[in-house]
Amino acid sequence: MQIDLDFRLQNRAEATIKLFETFQDELCICRENQLFCALSLNAIPLTNMLSKRFDVSYDILFNEILFAPNNSECEIAIIDENNELVIHEELIKSFNINLDYVYSHSNTLYEEEILKRINKLRKGKKITSFKDKHILFVDDEANVLRVLVGVKSAINLGAKNISYMCAVIPKEMEILLEKNIDKIFYLHSANNYVDNQHYYIEKVKELSCEDALEILKNSDNFMGNDIENKGEKQ
C-alpha cells in the first residue's frame, strides 16, 4: 500500500495556524452557546488556542481506549468519563473476545485512569453541561472511537449540534462522520492514512499530564478551573 504523503505539515504550530486561517469565518458564525471540547491530552494546546482566538469556553472529555487481550495495538472499545461505551463489534467477533472482558476492563480503565485524570486536571468535577450547546470536539490525532464516544456522550447530554476538528483524518473516517455529526473541520483527508506522524515533518510528542495541567491552570477559558463560579459563559 502506498502511504498518502502528498500533504505534510511542519509541526503542530503550523497545523494550528492553518486551521485558524481556513475556518475562522465558520467558527465565528455561531459563538453563542458554543463549547470547545478536547478529546485527548494532545488536543489541549490546540483547544486552548482556539478558545483564546474565539473567546469560547472549553472542557475535556476524558476517555480511555481498550485494546485486545493479545494485541496492544488493536483498539476494540473505548469508555469515557460519562460511562459511555463504544465497542468495535466486528473486531470483537473476529477475535472471539468475550464481552465480559470488555466490560470488566473498561470499568477498570474508568476507575484507575479516567477518574485519576478528572481529579488531577478538573479538580474532581464533572464535565460542564452540554445541554443546548454547539459542541466542537477537537483532536490532535484522528481516532474514530474517540469521536464516536464523544458523539454518544454529547447526544445523551443534550447537545444542540456536534462538530469535529482535526488537522488530518482518514478518508473512511470522514465518510463515517458525515453520517453522525453536523460539520467536520480538517486540512487533509488521507486516502491511505497510517498514523499522525506521517503528516508532520517534526517529531510529534505526546503531552504529559503535567504539561496539560500547566496549560489548563493558566487558562481563563477552561471550565474545569472554576466551573461553579463561571456559570454559562457562552
So what's the pLDDT on residue 4?
54
Where in the chain does DSSP place strands (E)?
A: 34-38, 58-60, 63-68, 71-80, 85-87, 134-138, 161-165, 168-170, 183-185, 188-190
| Rounded mean pLDDT, 184-197 | 92
Report the candidate in 177, 172, 176 with the shortest Cα–Cα distance to residue 189.
172
Report the candidate in 56, 48, 58 with the shortest Cα–Cα distance to residue 32.
56
230 pLDDT higher than 50: no
So what's the pLDDT on residue 72?
87
pTM of the shown model: 0.91
d(CA 103, CA 53) in angstroms, rounded, equals 40
Q: CATH number for the domain including 26?
A: 3.40.50.2020
Q: What total number of domains does the chain contain? A: 2
95 shares a domain with 56:
no
| pLDDT tens-digit map of 91-132 | 999 999 999 999 999 999 999 999 999 999 999 999 999 999
Torsion of CA 210, 212, 218, 220, to 10 degrees: -150
Domain residues for the domain of 179 are 12-61+127-221
24 shares a domain with 84:
no
141 shares a domain with 25:
yes
So what's the pLDDT on residue 233?
43
In a domain, 22, yes or no: yes
| pLDDT tens-digit map of 78-93 | 999 999 999 999 999 9
Residue 142 main-chain phi, psi, to 5 deg: -60, 130
